[in-house]
Structure 1
């Protein structure tokens, strides 16, 4: 499933796109721990649009003890990333590439194939990692992306962030992930991986939802 722009710093796991599979919790990639959660964060088009902008500006990875640096858009022209169907099989990208967008401080928005460095601490342990944007979803009522680990992390795996503006007008924020422990202490004590994941989910929700923050 690798594309040309993955030649430098390819992801460090094999099950690319597995967070898209609806049976992830029952059948996670080998030796990995799956996790998922969903929260209603408001309702209406205005809420969906604002949350989408925040999500695409790396919102979950910013704030608190987490920060990002060295955001590198994909180098090759015309790269549109990998897209997946509901079962996790690769299909045509959901969006053709467009002009790169930037947030208020000049950081490039999330784009397919982009790389980013994560810094900080979670649950008392470092959260430093190199990440790659595997796929970006930008549809009228659904926005999100998949991040995969490239290296230098305590775990190896993937995260899916999705915002949905549902037919009942509710806006939902959904996160799905799987983690394969790479640090020796995490391989020995799987409960630490699960605790780390819960702490990350809490941070992600706080970053996206004003309801949670209040």
Structure 2
């Protein structure tokens, strides 16, 4: 059986301005077997429900940083990147690229703009933990939408996560995350265990669970009470 990756109908990609190598390896079919050297790969998925409405709702939430916000990660947009560097590419059914096209800004039903490739953001986790993150790619397919986000500055843990929502052939809707992290410290500062990496992977899993209808309903109820 071939390990060919699915044909992208539209993809936007960034190949620089991050703090790690093997950019985009989270999309590799053999990631779990052959991860980037020294890294720990991961793959998680959570059932969100079924049907087109659930897919569209979850997609809208994911592409407006809803997974992160639902996991208590505050998002601060630092830089939108240079649009000319991050042009979208369309693919024919044969898999051949048709060439770069002008980016199309997409919006959630409430008017919130979707995140875009090239965006540099800060993840604020608690009072002191701040991570600089770059959106590497934005994936927009008929039944699969998501993005890759990777570390953009030196930190204890580096790597990337590919977060997506997909609707499968049985109409079930899933939130999926895969990627890799590694301890970026040098010498004596390098962690003796993988606890830091495990914590980062667990944080990604929390983001997936934040997309479930129950969690989203709780978040919406809390927002209504605050208003």
Query: Could you tell me the TM-score, scaled by structure 1's length?
Result: 0.78
Aligned residues: 201
* Cα-to-partner distance string for 1:69-126 (whole Å, 9 max, x where unaligned): 024322133723689xxxxxxx8499944343456998642112221111114xxx96
Following the alignment from structure 1 to structure 2, what is the Cα–Cα distance between the partners of residues 94 and 144?
A: 21
CA separation in 1, counterparts of 2:199 and 2:82?
36
Going from structure 1 to structure 2, the CA distance change for 1:136 and 1:196 (only over 3 Å counts) comes to: closer
The residue correspondences of 1:16-95 to structure 2 (distance < 5 A) are: 16-77=23-84, 79-80=86-87, 92=97
CA contact under 8 A between 1:81 and 1:113: conserved in structure 2?
no
Name the counterpart of 1:133.
Answer: 135
Aligned equivalents of 2:66, 2:80: Cα separation in 1: 17
Structure 1 residues 173 and 100 mapped into 2: Cα distance closer, same or farther (>3 Å)? Answer: same
Cα RMSD (Å):
3.4
Where 2:32 maps in the other structure, the secondary structure is: coil
- Which deviates more, 18-27 or 126-135? 126-135
Matched, 1:180 2:185: no
CA change 1:126–1:152 in 2 (3 A) is farther
1:193 Cα deviation after fit: 1.6
Structure 1, unaligned runs of 5 or more: 84-90
Answering whether residue 199 of structure 2 is matched by residue 195 of structure 1, we say: yes
Does residue 113 in structure 1 map to residue 118 in structure 2?
yes
User: What is the alpha-carbon distance in structure 2 between the residues aligned to residue 107 and residue 69 of structure 1?
Assistant: 15
Quick check: 1:142 aligned with 2:147? Answer: no
TM normalised by structure 2 equals: 0.74
Gaps (5+ residues) in structure 2? 1-11, 91-95, 219-227
Does the CA contact (< 8 Å) of 1:131 and 1:148 recur in 2? yes
For the residue of structure 1 that corresponds to 2:26, the secondary structure is helix
Distance 1:108 1:73 in 2: 12
Post-superposition shift, 1:11?
Answer: 0.6
